[in-house]
Chain A
């Protein structure tokens, strides 16, 4: 058994005096893609935000590589990539400037690499157009360009297929599998019918919570 990258022990979260989940435990092993399932409002996004460290209103334990996450927050943040509902793109900046800003606090990346990533998401020719002039799908693609240059082993992707066309969806699925094959781990929420070989599931909102 390889050591789990991320381990959750009896997570519990209450939101607006409604219990979203309790006693939720799971391990995220390297080399896996895990899908968080559940109906609307069952807490998928909340769970991902808790895992990302954006939501502090939970109880339980979270371990990153065997150590409590809160004790090595910076190491965790450097090894984790989170893409949320909101793409994290400034409408007034160009795709290139946005990517530069997103990478700025993480690690040095040359403009050529960023331009290549943008080309890889089908945005060549739009590098210097303000993002507010791009379509919703193109704006999401700017955020997704980070997946092409990511060296973080753990990806947390919330509704990553929203506003993406069929070819784009295929490309993302390939990226998820590739990351898992490289020994990373991906946790994803989606209403898109995602089927990958060896995929794991965390099911929310069905009363009982499955362990995996």
Chain B
């Protein structure tokens, strides 16, 4: 019975490193997203709508908008990301590619990190890029807009990363939307508070370095811990399916 020797256990020399596997996952997600562009536009459209409706619904006064503009933009961005989260793993779960992803001989948390980075690039980053236009519409001055963009640039990856945990946990459920929001919004609140706090501090002319450092700390905390939690949550969700 030597026939199996050549066949089995050829695997000790890792043929493909985790970084290349991550790049492949990232590239695949981006490619799939660009084949379905209306899904890419949804969060952007929602973001723009919420922000334009505020002056119409509450008050078009310059003073009001100057004061609350940053908060409006942050809340709108947070909700747009939240709306897009359900798609993060759902399609892959339904068509079975998630199973195959989990069976790749790679550390699962790295693959989850790659998926989350793709999610951020396709939802969070476009929101950041759209913010200057909408900020000017809300009469924010140049300094505030710049600070706001910076906080969103640091904050939206946190939203994607933390959201991935919730999306993974609620994957097996039929109506996951409400539970996902309940799980995730409390974790988003600190990011929101410090995000808008930074802009408020900038508008007053006080130093923002401390705020930004804390935002950065959130980002690195999420980067290091969230992929592990999301990977564990995926294992549990797949176990029950």
Contact = CB atoms under 8 A, between A and B. Distances in A.
A149 to B, nearest CB: 13
Interface of B: 1, 3-12, 15-16, 20-21, 24-25, 28, 31-32, 35-36, 94-97, 99-106, 111, 235-236, 238-240
B105 A86 contact: no
B103 A5 contact: no
A105 B104 CA distance: 6
Contacts, number: 129
A88 B104 contact: no
Nearest to B97: A88
A interface, size bucket = 35 or more
A93 interface: yes
Contacts of A86: 94-96, 99
Interface in A28-68: 30-31, 52-57, 65
A85 to B, nearest CB: 7
Contacts of B100: 82, 88, 102
Contact of A75 (B12, B35, B96): B12
A184 B8 contact: yes
Given A89-B97, A184-B4, A108 B16 contact: yes
Contacts of B106: 74, 105
Interface of A: 2, 5, 30-31, 52-57, 65, 74-75, 77-80, 82, 84-93, 97, 100-102, 104-108, 130, 151, 153, 181-184
A54 B66 CA distance: 52
A85 B96 contact: yes
Nearest to B104: A105
A97 B31 CA distance: 10
A106 B15 contact: yes
Given A90-B32, A183-B3, A54 B9 contact: no
Contact of B99 (A5, A82, A90, A153): A82
Nearest to A102: B100
Given A104-B25, A105-B104, A79 B3 contact: no
A99 B197 CA distance: 48
A106 B104 contact: yes
24 contacts: A2-B1, A5-B4, A30-B1, A30-B7, A52-B103, A54-B102, A54-B239, A56-B236, A74-B105, A82-B99, A86-B96, A89-B95, A90-B95, A93-B32, A101-B24, A104-B24, A105-B16, A105-B24, A105-B101, A130-B35, A153-B7, A153-B9, A182-B4, A183-B1
B21 A104 contact: yes
A84 B25 CA distance: 20
A52 B31 CA distance: 28
A169 B49 CA distance: 53
